[in-house]
Amino acid sequence: MPTNEHSEPIKALEILIQQGILTLSECLHHEWPQYAHQEKNEIPEANLTIHISHSFLSQDYCVYPEYPTDNKGRYDLVLFHPRQSEYVIVECKRFLKFNKKNNINIDFERMLEQKMLKPSIGILITMTRYKEISDWWVNYNRNPKPKRKSSKNWEDLSTMLKETRAIVGHVPLTTKKDNTSDYFHEALYAIFKIP
């Protein structure tokens, strides 16, 4: 769904998310926080949460990391602005992966089913090194899953994004310190109202 069809508060959240991702990208020019033996892995998601937090703190939001959930888990961040009525729940992932412990769909469902923080807006942020996933993310309503992906989890994610009328976007992250030209790296985000 195009961003211009959503309310001003959601557009303002999108700008803050983009600013946080861009500051992370600037920092990645100086240092790449990853073990050399984990080349196929992603930088830790805490890098996203700290830069997103900074962006919101600069606009007088109260920021609560590792906020307890209804079901004994934790959200990466809960944000609240004293002059606004909605809580903002943020979950970050290092990458899109569908297993029992690291599944963006589980986080998405958990956010949608939560009863503790009402009214609220959910934000999912993840990183990818695959252009076909980034292309699918910003066009999820046209195709239920990315090219060369067969898992039903992709279709489930697409359905949740559609049902929540999520605003989605992507922000390029820097290339590695050696500036390899064929290196693709982006942060993807989705913003949605929690019923």
Instruction: Specify the 3-state DSSP secondary structure of 178.
Output: coil
* pTM (2 d.p.): 0.86
Domain with 32 in it:
3-194
Task: Indicate the Cα dihedral angle 144, 145, 151, 154, nearest 10°.
Answer: -70
Q: How far apart are CA 11 and CA 4, in angstroms?
A: 8
Among the listed residues 74, 76, 72, the one whose alpha carbon sits nearest the alpha carbon of residue 63:
76
pLDDT at res. 47? 87
- How many other CB atoms are there within 10 angstroms of residue 157's CB atom? 24
pLDDT at res. 3? 39
pLDDT at res. 1? 35
Among the listed residues 46, 14, 112, 122, the one whose alpha carbon sits nearest the alpha carbon of residue 78:
122
> In the chain, where does DSSP find H-type helix?
8-28, 46-57, 104-113, 131-137, 152-163
pLDDT at res. 96? 65
* 119 upstream amide cis, omega within 30 of 0: yes
In order along its 195 residues, the chain shows pLDDT tens digits of 333 455 777 889 999 999 999 999 888 877 777 766 555 556 788 889 999 999 999 999 999 999 998 877 899 999 999 999 899 999 998 776 665 555 888 889 999 999 899 999 999 999 888 888 888 899 888 877 787 777 788 888 989 999 999 999 999 886 555 445 556 788 999 999 998
Domain count, the chain: 1
Q: Is the dihedral of CA 19, 23, 26, 28 positive or negative?
A: negative
